[in-house]
A and B are shown apart, each in its own frame.
Chain A
Amino acid sequence: MAAIETAALTKEYGDVRAVDGLSLTVEEGEIFGFLGPNGAGKSTTINVLLDYVRPTSGDVSVLGIDPRERPEAVRARLGVLPEGYALYDRLSARKHVRFAAEMEGVDVDPEAVLERVGIADDADRAVGGFSKGMTQRLALGLALVGEPDLLILDEPSSGLDPNGAREMREIVREERDRGATVFFSSHVMEQVEAVCDRVGIMTDGDLVAVDTVEGLRGRLGAGSTLVVTVDAVPDTSGVEAIDGVTGVTVRDDALRVSCTDPGVKAAVIERVSAAGATVRDIDVEEASLEDLFTEYTGGGTDPGSGAPTEVSEA
């Protein structure tokens, strides 16, 4: 059974079609990165999974249950870090965790939960005085209460500093290793790249690609770039003649050789040496998913579109 399954899911707000015929499957036990620019329909999809909004048409199943019919049964097995949430300003972090435990019907040590998300020292402070990052840590902690089978995290790294984002990824991996499925959305490619087993890229209300990070790289076509640092730049015509090399650029004392076939790297180095240069260093730059993301979501590739796709932290 899939952890999440949608079929031909559509959600319209008046004239706006936020989700357009989405068919998505997230397998049990995987970390699935749900990637897309702001406004792609990621949060609307998550809102449907959580039964915060009702779809216009299509089917939804979360852990085999239709959230529209049995929201309570779905939520009993979910841990959620929603988008656009707020906590109770007057209550302490500890009281929040106690409340979550009571709602989940479990017995937890609030101290341990807060320790895990790194805010144990502030357990007794009212959260009204918390920074955005601390609030986000507490909200993540609340999602972990009750050892959920499925974690749905909407933009979990927003508001977190790099350290916090790294700790968040660490927790995501721990939860996966415990056996949970993790579904998290982001518009920041590197968050997804670092932790996800599979990635789905959404734009304009539908998925345009679903694959493993490696699989997506393979699809990129541009292949990898071999960077060869040399003592003196030789004649590069011999390198360019190799089958599988699509281009060579020279910057300072480095040759950047674009290869579509990974097997040609040895030949490239051989030719560089043969041309009379001493190779000092070799580096391989994989095509970044950021490039792929940009390619799929149309940002920057369409000269008529004007502004590039927004991918910065909101």
Chain B
Amino acid sequence: MSARALTIARKDLTDLARSKLLWGAALVMLALTVPQTYDEATSSWDVLVDGTQDQLLIPFVLFAGPVAIVAAYASVAGERESGSLRVLLSFPTDRGAVLLGKALSRTLLLLAVSLGTYLVLGGVLIQAYGTLDGAEYLLDAGLLAAFTFAWAGLSVGVSAAVATKVRAVAVLFGLYLALGPLALWKATVVRLVGALVEGPGFDPSELRGLTNAGSETPEWYLYVGRLNPVQATLAANDWTSHSLTPSAWSTGHGSLTHNAFGVAAVVAWGVVPLAIGYWRFGRADLG
């Protein structure tokens, strides 16, 4: 299975290289991050590299999701809808290898876009400040890779789990809004777990954020809050900023255990949808 999955991934990348998708995604990512970081680096506000470097991942947390959705929503559902999947599956392979191949190619593509952009941002920092914090830069690169993988796996997994491209986009866009801008996580999952642990009177709006947790913040929230990949990434980014260079005004960024759990949760957001996609795709009628 794995040899065919690699062949499928390679062919997918050849195909993508000829599409505007790869180059479009890379350009969008650069356009969304470089000017912002450059402005910040050259403004008089952040005179030290630390302040700017701490913010380096923020635009990715906002935009990696949409870029992954655009790059991968059609990865399986599109082939299923057009009929090219019928040709693909006429060769000696199975549905698992098709999904694995697609997950590989789209993950590699998105990692190249994210880490490539991140490399450019590192260059901008060095240009502006003449230096950067190497350990933090590398840790954040790993964090960015995990976050990018989460969105790649989620997008390919959903694409395999549904029958049409429209459904894939609808599910993915809904998840993006729910996990990010709409703060639905706190209003739903955190509220539910809180009611179970703290009693029915629990109000999630009284909780402080994961990056400035206080002594009154319940321990369970430091985990449940990090089950949201966006929150987990922001919290871990805060942790890499402050535990490496201790800062007086931010102490509530959680422990190594909390943040390691958070990163594991981020990776799970890539793995679990792929598993669900595999299960559903494997049982679907492709007629």
CB-CB < 8 A to A51: which residues of B?
89
**Does A267 count as interface, using CB distance less than 8 angstroms?**
no
**Does A91 count as interface, using CB distance less than 8 angstroms?**
yes
Interface mask (A85-124 → B, CB under 8 Å = 1, otherwise 0): 1111011000100011011110000000000000000000
Are B92 and A72 in touch, CB under 8 angstroms? yes
**Does A21 count as interface, using CB distance less than 8 angstroms?**
no
Beta-carbon nearest neighbor of A18 in chain B: B287
**Does A3 count as interface, using CB distance less than 8 angstroms?**
no
In the complex, A140 Cα to B38 Cα: how many Å?
55
**Does A80 count as interface, using CB distance less than 8 angstroms?**
yes
Are A44 and B287 in touch, CB under 8 angstroms? yes
Are A82 and B86 in touch, CB under 8 angstroms? yes
Are A82 and B92 in touch, CB under 8 angstroms? no
Known: A99-B7, A103-B4. A87 touches B93 (CB 8 A): no
Range for the number of chain B residues in contact with chain A: 20 to 34
A103 to B: closest C-beta gap in Å: 4
In the complex, A143 Cα to B91 Cα: how many Å?
9
Beta-carbon nearest neighbor of B97 in chain A: A72
**Does B250 count as interface, using CB distance less than 8 angstroms?**
no
Interface mask (A3-20 → B, CB under 8 Å = 1, otherwise 0): 000000000010000000
Are A100 and B286 in touch, CB under 8 angstroms? no
In the complex, A83 Cα to B83 Cα: how many Å?
9
Interface centre among B11, B95, B287 (most CB of A within 10 A): B287
Are A86 and B18 in touch, CB under 8 angstroms? no
Known: A47-B286, A54-B285, A85-B83. A104 touches B89 (CB 8 A): no
Known: A44-B287, A76-B92. A91 touches B87 (CB 8 A): no
**Does B15 count as interface, using CB distance less than 8 angstroms?**
yes
Give residues of chain A (39-58) contacting chain B, Cβ–Cβ below 8 Å.
Answer: 43-44, 47, 50-54
In the complex, A86 Cα to B4 Cα: how many Å?
20
Are A87 and B92 in touch, CB under 8 angstroms? no
Known: A82-B86, A142-B87. A103 touches B286 (CB 8 A): no
Beta-carbon nearest neighbor of B82 in chain A: A86
Are A91 and B86 in touch, CB under 8 angstroms? no
B133 to A: closest C-beta gap in Å: 42
Are B84 and A85 in touch, CB under 8 angstroms? yes
Are B83 and A75 in touch, CB under 8 angstroms? no
Give residues of chain B (91-109) contacting chain A, Cβ–Cβ below 8 Å.
Answer: 91-95, 97
CB-CB < 8 A to B131: which residues of A?
none
**Does B212 count as interface, using CB distance less than 8 angstroms?**
no
**Does A257 count as interface, using CB distance less than 8 angstroms?**
no
**Does B127 count as interface, using CB distance less than 8 angstroms?**
no
Select which of A43, A80, A95 is within 8 A of B90 by beta carbon: A80
Are A86 and B287 in touch, CB under 8 angstroms? no
Are A72 and B94 in touch, CB under 8 angstroms? yes
Give residues of chain B (15-64) contacting chain A, Cβ–Cβ below 8 Å.
Answer: 15, 18-19
A90 to B: closest C-beta gap in Å: 4
Known: A53-B286, A90-B18. A85 touches B87 (CB 8 A): yes
Are A88 and B90 in touch, CB under 8 angstroms? no
In the complex, A90 Cα to B87 Cα: how many Å?
15
In the complex, A294 Cα to B11 Cα: how many Å?
46
Beta-carbon nearest neighbor of B283 in chain A: A54
B203 to A: closest C-beta gap in Å: 46
A16 to B: closest C-beta gap in Å: 12
Known: A53-B287, A95-B14. A103 touches B93 (CB 8 A): yes
Are A87 and B14 in touch, CB under 8 angstroms? no
In the complex, A54 Cα to B285 Cα: how many Å?
6
**Does A71 count as interface, using CB distance less than 8 angstroms?**
yes
B95 to A: closest C-beta gap in Å: 8
CB-CB < 8 A to A100: which residues of B?
91
Are B87 and A86 in touch, CB under 8 angstroms? yes
CB-CB < 8 A to B82: which residues of A?
86
Interface mask (B133-159 → A, CB under 8 Å = 1, otherwise 0): 000000000000000000000000000
**Does B187 count as interface, using CB distance less than 8 angstroms?**
no
A96 to B: closest C-beta gap in Å: 9
CB-CB < 8 A to B285: which residues of A?
13, 47, 52-54
**Does A196 count as interface, using CB distance less than 8 angstroms?**
no
Report 9 cross-chain contacts, Cβ distance below 8 Å, ordered by A residue: A51-B89, A53-B286, A53-B287, A75-B93, A76-B92, A80-B86, A99-B11, A100-B91, A103-B4
Listed from nearest, the 5 A-B pairs whose CB atoms lie closest are: A80-B90, A103-B91, A76-B92, A86-B83, A82-B86
Known: A91-B15, A139-B87. 20 other contacts (CB 8 A): A13-B287, A43-B287, A47-B286, A50-B86, A51-B89, A52-B86, A52-B285, A53-B286, A54-B283, A73-B92, A75-B92, A78-B90, A82-B83, A82-B87, A86-B87, A87-B87, A90-B18, A99-B11, A104-B91, A142-B90
